[in-house]
C-alpha cells in the first residue's frame, strides 16, 4: 500500500468548475472569485470576505491596513509555520514569539506577559485545525489595563483602541469555538487555500472581517479589494466591459488578487465542505480509537461543546521518544510506503530566526512537542483500511525501535 500525506481533493465537480472558468473567456479575478467570496460569507455567517493569492499576502495586507510599521511588535506562537512571523517582518515589525500550551496553540498567559506599548497585534494560530482560546485572548486585549498601554498611531488604530486579534486560520476553515465559526471569534481572520489545506485553490487565501461596529464593513472591504489590486479603482474584469476603460490609481497597493481559475477549484470544494469535513472527522476519530489503546500515544483531543476542530492535521505525540528515534520512525514508515510529516520545527530552531537572536531554550513546550511529534495522513479520500494500515505499521515499528534501543 502506498499512502501519500495530503493529496488535494480533485473530483469531477472541481474539474467541471475549472473547465467552466477556462472556457468562459475570463480566467483572472472575476465572477468565480465573487462567487467564492459570497459562498464564504454565507457559510461562515460574516459580512465580508476578500480573496487573495495566499495566506501570507492576506496577512501582510491586514497588517498594512492596521498601519504596522518598523519598531512595532506583533505577538505570535513559536510553534507555527514561518509565514506567521514573516508576514510581520514584511511590514518591518518584530515578531514577539511566545510558547504554546498542551494543545499546541498559543499560551494565552504568555500573551499577557509579552504585551508592551509597542504591541499592535497578536496572531494566534489554530494549529492542526484546533481553535485557539479566542474568548480568553479577546478578554486580554479588551482588559482596561492592557488597553491603556496601547499607543494608537493611525486612524484604524485609533478607531480600534486596542491590540488587534488577527487569526492565522490557515488550518481551520470550519472549526468552531463555543459553536461559533473561528472567523467570528477574532477581528480579522485569514484562511489559506494552499494545495495541502482543507480547502484549496492551488495557491490562495481569504481575509474575513468581524470588526467592532465603529468600522464600516463595506468600506473596509472596498479598501482591501482596492489594495489587493495595485490601488486601482476598477478591477480588470470591470475594465474589459466595452467603454469602461478609464481608471485611477489612488494608493500604493499590492498585487495579490486571486485568479478566477484558482477560485473555481476552491468554490467547488467549499460547496461540499460539510461532506469533506465529515470525512476528515471519520479519519480523525478512527485514529483516536485505534491509537487510544496505547499508553505511549498522546492523541489530539476529541471535539467538545467548547471546541470543534477542522480536522486539518492529526498531530500525534509519542511518549517517551527522542527526536532521532522519531526521525527513524518516519523513515521506516516511508520505507513501507507511508508518508508522514512533522508540524512544525519551532521557528527559533530555523537558521533565519536563530540569526535574529531567538533561542529555543525560551520555548520549552514547543521544543518538547516538536521532538515527539509525528503527523499522520488525514484527508477525505483516505479509507478506513488505509488508516488501519498506517496504525498497524506505526505500532509495529514503534515496538521494534523501542526493543532495539532497550
Ligand atoms: C500554510 C500556512 C501558512 C501560509 O499559507 P500560504 O497560503 O502558503 O501563504 C501560514 N500559516 C500556517 C500555520 C500555515 O500552515
Cell numbers that stand for 209 in this block = 472581517
Encode pLDDT of 169-178 as tens digits.
Answer: 999 999 999 9
Residue 55 CB less than 6 A away from ligand 1: yes
Task: Among 83, 85, 166, name the best residue to mutate to test ligand 1's pocket (greatest count of ligand atoms within 8 A of Cβ).
Answer: 83
Q: What is the pLDDT of residue 174?
A: 97
State the Cα–Cα distance between residues 259 and 237, nearest whole angstrom. 11
At 396, the pLDDT band (50, 70, 90 cuts) reads very high
Distance (angstroms) between ligand 1 centre and the Cα of 196 equals 10
Distance CA 70, CA 332 (A): 46
State the pLDDT confidence band at 7, using cuts at 50, 70 and 90: very high
State which ligand 1 atom lies nearest to the alpha carbon of 194.
Answer: 7
108-136: average pLDDT: 98
**Is the pLDDT at 265 greater than 80, yes or no?**
yes
Mean per-residue pLDDT over the chain, rounded: 97
For residue range 72-94, list pLDDT tens digits in order.
999 999 999 999 999 999 999 99
Average pLDDT over residues 49-59: 98
Ligand 1 center–CA 168 separation, angstroms: 8
CA atoms within 13 A on the CB side of 28: 12
User: Does the CA dihedral 98-108-52-315 come out positive or negative?
Assistant: positive
Mean pLDDT of 361-385: 98
Ligand 1: residue of 59, 130, 170, 366 to mutate (most ligand atoms within 8 A of CB) is: 170
What pLDDT score was predicted for residue 239? 85
Cβ of 205 below 6 Å from ligand 1? yes
pLDDT tens for 297-345 read 999 999 999 999 999 999 999 998 999 999 999 999 999 999 999 999 9
CA 353 to chain centre: 20
80: Cβ below 6 Å to ligand 1?
yes
pLDDT recorded at residue 248: 95
Q: Rounded distance, CA 219 to CA 91, Å? A: 23
CA dist., res. 326 & res. 348, Å (int):
20
Q: How far apart are CA 177 and CA 297, in angstroms?
A: 26
The answer to whether residue 406 scores a pLDDT higher than 80 is no
404 Ramachandran zone, left/alpha/beta (phi>0; psi -120 to 50): alpha
Atom of ligand 1 nearest to the CA of 171: 15
Q: Is 170 in the pocket of ligand 1 (CB under 6 A)?
A: yes
* CB distance 105 to ligand 1 below 6 Å: no
pTM equals 0.98
Of the listed ranges 136-145, 240-249, 302-311, the one predicted with least confidence? 240-249
The residue-averaged pLDDT of 258-283 equals 98
Cis-peptide into 5, omega within 30 deg: no
What is the reported pLDDT for 22? 98
In sequence order, which residues have a C-beta less than 8 Å from that of residue 357 and are 6 or more positions away?
none
Band the pLDDT of 238: cuts 50, 70, 90.
confident
Ligand 1 atom closest to 343 (CA)? 15
Q: Is 192 a pocket residue for ligand 1 (Cβ < 6 Å)?
A: yes
pLDDT in the model for residue 320: 86
Q: What is the pLDDT of residue 90?
A: 98
Query: Which atom from ligand 1 is nearest to the alpha carbon of 168?
Result: 11
Cβ of residue 84 lying under 6 Å from some atom of ligand 1: yes
Q: Cα(5) to centroid of ligand 1, in Å?
A: 17
C-alpha cell at 97: 514569539
What per-residue confidence (pLDDT) applies to 147? 98
Tell how far the Cα of 193 is from the centroid of ligand 1, in angstroms. 8
Amino acid at each position: 500500500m502506498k499512502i501519500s500525506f495530503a493529496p488535494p481533493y480533485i473530483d469531477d465537480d472541481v474539474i467541471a468548475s475549472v473547465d467552466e472558468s477556462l472556457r468562459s473567456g475570463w480566467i483572472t479575478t472575476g465572477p468565480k472569485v465573487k462567487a467564492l467570496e459570497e459562498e464564504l460569507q454565507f457559510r461562515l455567517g460574516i459580512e465580508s470576505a476578500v480573496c487573495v493569492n495566499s495566506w501570507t499576502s492576506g496577512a501582510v495586507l491586514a497588517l498594512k491596513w492596521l498601519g504596522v510599521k518598523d519598531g512595532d511588535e506583533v505577538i505570535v506562537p513559536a510553534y507555527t509555520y514561518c509565514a506567521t512571523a514573516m508576514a510581520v517582518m514584511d511590514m518591518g515589525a518584530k515578531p514577539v514569539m511566545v510558547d504554546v500550551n498542551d494543545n499546541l496553540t498559543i499560551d494565552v498567559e504568555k500573551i499577557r506577559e509579552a504585551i508592551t506599548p509597542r504591541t499592535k497585534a497578536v496572531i494566534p494560530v489554530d494549529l492542526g485545525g484546533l481553535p485557539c482560546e479566542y474568548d480568553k485572548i479577546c478578554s486580554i486585549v479588551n482588559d482596561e489595563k492592557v488597553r491603556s498601554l496601547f499607543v494608537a498611531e493611525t486612524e484604524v488604530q485609533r478607531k480600534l483602541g486596542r491590540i488587534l486579534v488577527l487569526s492565522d486560520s490557515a488550518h481551520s476553515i470550519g472549526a468552531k469555538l463555543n459553536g461559533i465559526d473561528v472567523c467570528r471569534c477574532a477581528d480579522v481572520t485569514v484562511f489559506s487555500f494552499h494545495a495541502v489545506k482543507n480547502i484549496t485553490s492551488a495557491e490562495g487565501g481569504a481575509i474575513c472581517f468581524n470588526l467592532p461596529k465603529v468600522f464600516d464593513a463595506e468600506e473596509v472591504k472596498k479598501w482591501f479589494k482596492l489594495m489587493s489590486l495595485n490601488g486601482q479603482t476598477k478591477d480588470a474584469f470591470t475594465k474589459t466591459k466595452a467603454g469602461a476603460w478609464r481608471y485611477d490609481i489612488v494608493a500604493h497597493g499590492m498585487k495579490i488578487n486571486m485568479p478566477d481559475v484558482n477560485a473555481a477549484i476552491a468554490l467547488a470544494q467549499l460547496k461540499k465542505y460539510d461532506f469533506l469535513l465529515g470525512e476528515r472527522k471519520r479519519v480523525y476519530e478512527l485514529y483516536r480509537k485505534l491509537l487510544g489503546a496505547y499508553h505511549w500515544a498522546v492523541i489530539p483531543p476529541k471535539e467538545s461543546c467548547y471546541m470543534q476542530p477542522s480536522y486539518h492535521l492529526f498531530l500525534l505525540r509519542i511518549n517517551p521518544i527522542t527526536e532521532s528515534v522519531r526521525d527513524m520512525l518516519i523513515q521506516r514508515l516511508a520505507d513501507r510506503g507511508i508518508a508522514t510529516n512533522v508540524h512544525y520545527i519551532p521557528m527559533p530552531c530555523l537558521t533565519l530566526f536563530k540569526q535574529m537572536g531567538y533561542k529555543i531554550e525560551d520555548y520549552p513546550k514547543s521544543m518538547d512537542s516538536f521532538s515527539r511529534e509525528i503527523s499522520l495522513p488525514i484527508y477525505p479520500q483516505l479509507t478506513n483500511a488505509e488508516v488501519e494500515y498506517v496504525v498497524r505499521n506505526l505500532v509495529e515499528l514503534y515496538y521494534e525501535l523501542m526493543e532495539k534501543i532497550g
